[in-house]
Amino acid sequence: MLKVVLFDLDDTLVDQEGASRAALLDWFPELGLDLDDPDELVAAWGAVSEEAYARYQRREITFLDQRRVRVREFLGADATDAEADELFAGYLSRYERAWRAFDDAGPTLRRVRDAGLVVALLTNGDGAHQRLKLERTGLAGHIDMVVASSDLPAGKPDPRAYSGACDILGVAPDTVLMVGDDVQKDYLGPLDAGLGAVLLDRADRHPEVEHRIRTLTELRLPR
């Protein structure tokens, strides 16, 4: 019997990609970067960010260090910690101002609660940072429990992330449904760990996935 719907946060409930792009396009001129090809710059930032964040999830570096790594590698600069922190702050302030929940997020969270299910979050990130995001986007009041990778031995898709979340929630894996936008972290990983899973595929990139939805309004709940 389903007891918990476990949502991912970034690009599932909150438009992280859109917020990041808006922040970058406003930040780049401050860095003196040429915007003739903004897509290339955005992609370059995304590549270094993904690798640095993966290192943080593997506990190779701290959350703060992954920010510094992103700045240094993107700019090719031998910046001190203080200099890297100051540079990253220029991006972070813009990124936080651009946070927006998807239109289908709040109504879906309310619908899950109305069905008598626990609404929980499993997010790869620092707990304080992600809780701030929920507050800023108006979603915090719709979430019963937040489990961040900073609370766990490892982040998604490490099996310990899903088992750890279930332990914190006090439920068996087979009573949990994971919903998120990443094939490995939010679909295959949970299935391998014994959870149910539905892929949120807003851009229709993964037609090969059996259990997928295009919007959160398509999420089916037991009656």
On whether both 167 and 63 belong to a single domain, the answer is no
- C-alpha 203/C-alpha 152 separation (Å) is 30
What is the b/e burial string over 15-34, where b = at least 16 CB atoms within 10 angstroms of the residue's CB?
bbeebbbbbbebbbeeeeee
Query: Is the pLDDT assigned to residue 58 strictly greater than 90?
Result: no
pLDDT of residue 192: 97
d(CA 84, CA 82): 5
User: Looking at the predicted structure, is the pLDDT value of residue 51 above 80?
Assistant: yes
Q: Give the number of C-alpha atoms closer than 13 A to the C-alpha of residue 95, restricted to the C-beta side.
A: 17
Q: Is residue 223 part of a domain?
A: no
On whether both 171 and 113 belong to a single domain, the answer is yes
Give pLDDT tens digits for 108-124: 999 999 999 999 999 99
Q: What is the pLDDT of residue 117?
A: 97
Position 10 scores a pLDDT of 96
- Domain boundaries, position 42: 16-97
Task: Report the CATH number at residue 66.
Answer: 1.10.150
144-188 tens-digit pLDDT: 999 999 889 889 999 999 999 999 999 999 999 999 999 999 999
φ, ψ of residue 74 to 5 degrees: the values are: -65, -45
Residues 105 and 50 in one domain: no
Q: What is the pTM of this model?
A: 0.93
Spatial distance between the Cα atoms of 122 and 46, rounded to a whole number of angstroms? 22
Question: Is the pLDDT at 222 greater than 90, yes or no?
Answer: no
Give residue 34's pLDDT: 85
Instruction: Summarize the confidence of residues 20-42 as an average pLDDT.
Output: 94
- Average pLDDT of every residue of the chain: 95
Domain count, the chain: 2
Cβ 161 vs Cβ 152: under 8 Å:
yes
pLDDT digits (tens, 9 = 90+) for 60-92: 999 999 999 999 999 998 999 999 999 999 999
Chain position carrying tokens 């229709």? 204
Helix (H, G, I), strand (E, B) or coil at 131: helix
Residue 223 above 80 pLDDT?
no
Q: Is 150 helix (H, G, I), strand (E, B) or coil?
A: helix
Nearest to 133 by CA among 146, 120, 119, 118: 146
Position 117 in a domain: yes
Interval 49-70 mean pLDDT = 93
pLDDT over 90 (residue 9): yes
Taking the C-alpha atoms of residue 105 and residue 116, their distance in angstroms, rounded to an integer, is: 17
